[in-house]
Structure 1
């Protein structure tokens, strides 16, 4: 229990540091361009502690669910004093404003990369260069699913074995479509019960095409309901060097490649995020919680506790790196009050002024943020509502990696 609580505390601390560094990215870039930073706070709500250094008030607020960096004149509607006017953000060149608004995103990307680099040189990361081509590790019969962990007894070699698939075969494609890994093979088969698939198989350096008729079997979905799914009776052989420790120099390229893979997965996760909210709501009322669904600070910290309890420090740090990547890309969504929304406004001003010049007109001036307030309030309300839903789910039905 002590190790679990330590992990919860450390991951919560890691989240706080992640937020602090995000806001520091805005602050450092703002100061680099001579902008005035009024306040740098971690958290929202009533001030717990603060101190003033120069023109900036640093502080911690009561609600640790975010933070902010208050830069003078972020918009034309933000009043500035006579002393602040030369340092107001709105009076700086557009490209400087974009860099400052992107400073938090850049900081999270750097932090995530550095965390992964540390893991790569100390214990090892999933090897981005590993050959993940589906390789047959076992050929077996197929049967219906009895419960979450049990399949019914069966005999024979299964559809793949009957078609001539052997252990060690590399399955390169299905119906001419290349396969990146075994999961792609599995998903394609699951969706086509009863169909005949043409597999491109490599054996001893030679390739051939094998027709396999997919068996229709009963499987249980996340809600425990029976569904019909496809199966051909193959399992994947272990991937050689699936996790690899790298030297200090080679780890730079490996970490960069792995970071790219994680960013791609994060984008896919963001795109699927809205569709997963109903499942989170259902979990509050007893439905099974999706381990790949969204988690709040509470849920992520609990998972961090589970990892530390089992001494899985490499997974702990990689999850913290993934959090940094999520925060970076989420903030790029072009809607206020997110950083991406502010960047979109600056770019809109630049494009608008370009077309005004073509018409022989002068710059149109800063955008009126008051017109964006309905969108800002609506977005803030959605984020708050979703955040509360996920927090409640993480309390009453948390994600558990280890049962």
Structure 2
């Protein structure tokens, strides 16, 4: 029963965190819009039927039934079409522009819906009448808010909780030495005892020095051991507060050579390559280490790059997901995950008893940070109706109005879309 409750708690944490992130995203649009005098009719979290709302001033604030998005309704989001265009996509009919293409129909519907939000005498408070820089500020306000949320959450994870790293403390000691091809899970009779166990090393020993060299990282001790096959090494360890000196002699082993991705390297003949290294048979314990503030922005940048790469390859990844679901293939571990999938992941990690509570909380916070990075990057995609599409349209319009070289770009856009270059929105 407790596991089920923890699973539900994990899902709720992500749902509430996502709703708050969306709400703050829309506030990122709302505040500058009001600051610049644009009339905002609605501020809504979610889609579908309204379950609660309250009007304050000229704006209705509320929640809708499906908490998977949000919006603010600004007056005059799309500019009206000044003149009817006679051509392939539009003909004049009864004083209204009718269209013969699906895109043209959607464009006209968007213009008409936008016109309904403009009250008589308040034409100057419309979004499309703002200067280009102000429109860009409004549309970037949402994604920037998600970026700031992600920076704060990554700061909490890295500087508050810290990250798991290899320590200089022995976490495990192998009892015997088995060949690389062995699949045994226990020591068979007659197996050679591992040097670490034979020398008396135990889990919990903190390695202070090896042969007089002070040990500051696990990788440092590994390099010393690998280069000392057959040579007796003096280990100084701290055990229950007392220093102990042990003589450990690494034995020669021939493990497979692996590349940076952990794949076994083969030679020209297809044979797996091996290398001679010293082996003691000990593994490191992990410890949580708080990171400096300077580590936050690189982590955010790395996450942004990962999401951007995922979006660029999204069509290919979606095909792979479809093949895995309907073709019986294996789904890629790093493929796209739906909001439902993220919720399930959160529930699973929250209900995993073998993971310390601190690690579970840290994971959920980092998951919310990654969701905000995804919202930030996705909304910057320069396609309508995303924020990036409005920004791109404003830039094209501003460029067309101030630079002859950019006017050519705007003219080409017009010739392709059959829309006025002054109106880069649907």
TM-score (norm 1): 0.63
By how many angstroms is 1:253 displaced? Answer: 2.1
By how many angstroms is 1:87 displaced? Answer: 1.9
Structure with larger Rg: 2
Give deviations 1:245-279, integer Å, cap 9, x for gaps: 14xxx4x3221222122222222222232221123
Alignment of 1:3-402 (within 5 A): 3-76=6-79, 77=111, 78-79=114-115, 80-125=118-163, 168=223, 185-187=259-261, 193-195=266-268, 215-216=271-272, 244-246=289-291, 250=292, 252-285=293-326, 286-310=328-352, 311=357, 312-356=360-404, 366-367=422-423, 369-370=425-426
By how many angstroms is 1:168 displaced? Answer: 1.4
Report SS of the residue matched to 2:223.
coil
Cα distance in 2 for residues equivalent to 1:53 and 1:96 = 24
* CA RMSD between the two structures: 4.1
Cα distance in 2 for residues equivalent to 1:320 and 1:238 = 32
Give the structure 2 partner of residue 392 of structure 1.
none
Distance 1:275 1:144, change over 3 A: farther
- Contact persistence 2:400–2:406 (CA under 8 A): no
By how many angstroms is 1:194 displaced? Answer: 3.0
By how many angstroms is 1:354 displaced? Answer: 2.5
- Contact persistence 1:39–1:58 (CA under 8 A): yes
Give the structure 1 partner of residue 246 of structure 2.
none
Give the structure 2 partner of residue 133 of structure 1.
none
Give the structure 1 partner of residue 102 of structure 2.
none
Cα distance in 2 for residues equivalent to 1:45 and 1:307 = 31
Distance 1:336 1:231, change over 3 A: farther
By how many angstroms is 1:302 displaced? Answer: 1.0
- Contact persistence 1:41–1:60 (CA under 8 A): yes
Report SS of the residue matched to 1:10.
helix
By how many angstroms is 1:288 displaced? Answer: 3.2
- Contact persistence 1:38–1:55 (CA under 8 A): yes
Segment of structure 1 superposing worse, 47-56 or 237-246: 237-246
- Contact persistence 1:189–1:214 (CA under 8 A): no
Gaps of 5+ in 1: 131-138, 150-165, 170-183, 196-212, 217-229, 371-403
Cα distance in 1 for residues equivalent to 2:276 and 2:28 = 51
Report SS of the residue matched to 1:81.
coil
Give deviations 1:198-246, integer Å, cap 9, x for gaps: xxxxxxxxxxxxxxx9745xxxxxxxxxxxxx887999x9899985314
Distance 1:32 1:288, change over 3 A: same
Distance 1:308 1:86, change over 3 A: same
Cα distance in 2 for residues equivalent to 1:42 and 1:88 = 22
Report SS of the residue matched to 2:50.
strand
Cα distance in 1 for residues equivalent to 2:276 and 2:331 = 28
